[in-house]
Amino acid sequence: MKPLFRVLVVDDEPLTLQLVVESLTVEGYDVQIVSSGAEAISASQKNDFDVVITDLAMPGMGGMEVLAHFTEHHPDTFVVVVTGYGTIETAVGAMKRGAFDYLAKPANLDELLFTLKRAQEIRSLKDENVLLRTQIQEQHRFDRIIGQSQLMQSLYHMIRRVAKSHSTVLIMGESGTGKELIANAIHYHSERKDNTFVPINCGAIPEELLESELFGHERGAFTGALRERRGRFELAHGGTILLDEIGEMSPKLQVKLLRFLQEKKFQRLGGSRTIEVDVRILAATNKNLERAVAASEFREDLFYRLNVIPIIVPPLREREGDIPLLVDHFLRQHCQKKELSLKRISKSALDVLERYNWPGNVRELENVIERLVIMTEDGEIEVDDLPQRIRAYQESGIKHLEIGEAGISLKDTLDDLEKRLILEALQKAGGVKNKAAKLLGLNRTTLIEKLKKKGIVCPDGVA
């Protein structure tokens, strides 16, 4: 992979460096040469450099002044000074003033390459730090995805296949189904796994900020842009970016993103230099993007660019047999985290969890288990320990309703549901209509009207 490293060489006798420059270019560095300190300053105003290699003794503005300029205005740039024979003290002085390294003349190519490599390593550590600070960790790997259901098996198969390609993937699924986890798994199963995985939540950041988060900005690009800043696309160079909650992106940014997807090039905010990066794009959303396109909320051309390979993550309620595995996993995880001995769950409580429809999917299940771990005394977790909504769900007997591809008839579905609930209430009330009406929050006459209309006969024949 080509390092995205820009080097500025400052020397009043550039010819002596010709060979070095050529070799650096061959190594893939992007090198610019200037022949005076003043030119170096003006070059730094147009572009930003990762490394500046400056001669110390130059007519006019000397290397020390160049160093002072960069440490003050471009603190992220590494400055390497080149000194003539016998001026080692000056070199030490330069190091004290913030130079990254010094090289003796005539510059030795191997030494120079070594210095550049070191600078690159430190830069990538710094970049990683930036990422860590925003709490991005490569915590989640494939083996962290729990589930053995048919649906999950096909998903694993899909992840493995997709990981091998470079195509853009659009991950769709309800909230909490594990879209981010899956994006992670794709990255860590791809050739890019040794480079960074950079997620960014497009829904959580205001538009202007998001633009500079993604594309970076130059110093002074806007009020408060005191320093230049690399965007996430640059940080993800060689790796993978996850554009999470892509459905929330503003129309203006959609246009900019589309342009980037087409050209793989962009400019930082307030900058004129074109930056080219090699980044694999993953996008995730819990919105129905096709519907958003139809409603003109999402650009159709961008949708097609992103939806090269669609991955649909199934909701938890459809993953047969996975709930006990997940419960076990989260019990272990949270007991361990809190340094508690492992808690168990009773069979009947587990049954209730299995019957619930989990609108918040795995995230909701994880939260419930975490709470149970904290709230319950020692011993087995029982039905009574479960949150009310989950127990109530079971009691109401309402099974999950879903609108399939073919659609539903709302009226028929509601009629059917009403009938089932009335029957259940009657059963619970032992056929006593007064009681059944109470259970349903109706008055007796309304219930009787409904029974007549629906032709319902009391289960045990009691009037």
Ligand X SMILES: Nc1ncnc2c1ncn2[C@@H]1O[C@H](COP(=O)(O)OP(=O)(O)OP(=O)(O)O)[C@@H](O)[C@H]1O
Binding site for ligand X (CB under 6 A): 140, 144-147, 173, 175-181, 286, 362-363, 366
Cα–Cα distance, 363 to 19 (Å, whole number)? 58
DSSP state of 449: H
Give the residue with the Cβ less far from ligand X, 63 or 147.
147
- β-pairing, 274-276 with 265-267? antiparallel
| Residue of the chain from 30, 65, 76, 180 that contacts Mg ion (CB under 5 A) | 180
Give the residue with the Cβ less far from ligand X, 67 or 390.
390
Instruction: Find which of Mg ion, ligand X, none residue 177 binds, CB within 5 to 8 Å per kind.
Output: ligand X
- The count of C-alpha atoms lying within 13 angstroms of the C-alpha of 208, restricted to the half-sphere facing its C-beta, is 6
Helix (H) or strand (E) holding 395: helix 388-396
> Residue 213 Cβ, how far from Mg ion at the closest point, in Å?
16
Instruction: Find which of Mg ion, ligand X, none residue 362 binds, CB within 5 to 8 Å per kind.
Output: ligand X
Give the residue with the Cβ less far from ligand X, 100 or 356.
356
Instruction: Find which of ligand X, Mg ion, none residue 21 binds, CB within 5 to 8 Å per kind.
Output: none
Cα–Cα distance, 12 to 39 (Å, whole number)? 11
DSSP state of 34: E
Q: How far is CA 100 from CA 74, 224, 238, 302, in A?
A: 13, 28, 25, 43
Q: Are 168 and 309 in contact (CB under 8 A)?
A: yes
In the bound state, the residue with its beta carbon closest to Mg ion is 180
Cα–Cα distance, 78 to 101 (Å, whole number)? 8
> Residue 312 Cβ, how far from ligand X at the closest point, in Å?
12
> Residue 144 Cβ, how far from ligand X at the closest point, in Å?
6
CA atoms 298, 302, 308, 309: torsion sign: negative
Residue 256 burial (CB < 10 Å; 0-12/13-18/19+)? middle
Encoded one letter per residue, x for contact with Mg ion by CB under 5 A and - for no contact, window 193-222 reads ------------------------------
> How far is it between the farthest Cα atoms of the chain?
112
> Residue 279 Cβ, how far from ligand X at the closest point, in Å?
20
Give the residue with the Cβ less far from ligand X, 62 or 173.
173
Give the residue with the Cβ less far from Mg ion, 254 or 286.
286
φ and ψ of 430, to 5 deg: 60, 30
> Residue 176 Cβ, how far from ligand X at the closest point, in Å?
5
How many H-runs (helices) and E-runs (strands) does the chain carry? 19, 12
Give the residue with the Cβ less far from ligand X, 185 or 436.
185
DSSP 164-224: HS---EEEE-STTSSHHHHHHHHHHTSGGGGS-EEEEETTTS-HHHHHHHHH-B-TTSSTT
> Residue 183 Cβ, how far from Mg ion at the closest point, in Å?
8
Give the residue with the Cβ less far from ligand X, 176 or 216.
176
Beta strands in 251-403 (DSSP E): 265-267, 274-276, 280-285, 309-312
Closest CA to 100 of 128, 126, 61: 126
Give the residue with the Cβ less far from ligand X, 178 or 271.
178
Q: In this chain, which stretch among 132-140, 178-186, 327-335, 427-435 interacts with Mg ion, using CB under 5 A? A: 178-186
Instruction: Find which of Mg ion, ligand X, none residue 239 binds, CB within 5 to 8 Å per kind.
Output: none
Q: Are 241 and 192 in contact (CB under 8 A)?
A: no
Instruction: Find which of ligand X, Mg ion, none residue 314 binds, CB within 5 to 8 Å per kind.
Output: none
Give the residue with the Cβ less far from ligand X, 117 or 144.
144
> Residue 377 Cβ, how far from Mg ion at the closest point, in Å?
34
Instruction: Find which of ligand X, Mg ion, none residue 345 binds, CB within 5 to 8 Å per kind.
Output: none
> Residue 291 Cβ, how far from ligand X at the closest point, in Å?
16
> Residue 241 Cβ, how far from ligand X at the closest point, in Å?
15
Instruction: Find which of ligand X, Mg ion, none residue 145 binds, CB within 5 to 8 Å per kind.
Output: ligand X
| Residue ranges in 364-403 that form contacts with Mg ion under rule CB under 5 A | none
> Residue 177 Cβ, how far from Mg ion at the closest point, in Å?
9
Give the residue with the Cβ less far from ligand X, 323 or 422.
323
In the bound state, the residue with its beta carbon closest to ligand X is 178
Instruction: Find which of Mg ion, ligand X, none residue 450 binds, CB within 5 to 8 Å per kind.
Output: none
Q: How far is CA 184 from CA 128, 135, 168, 275, 288, in A?
A: 16, 14, 14, 25, 22
> Residue 267 Cβ, how far from ligand X at the closest point, in Å?
30
Beta pairing partners, 337: none
Residue 196 burial (CB < 10 Å; 0-12/13-18/19+)? buried
Give the residue with the Cβ less far from ligand X, 54 or 286.
286
Q: In this chain, which stretch among 48-56, 173-181, 402-410, 421-429 interacts with Mg ion, using CB under 5 A? A: 173-181
By CB under 5 A, name the binding residues for Mg ion: 180
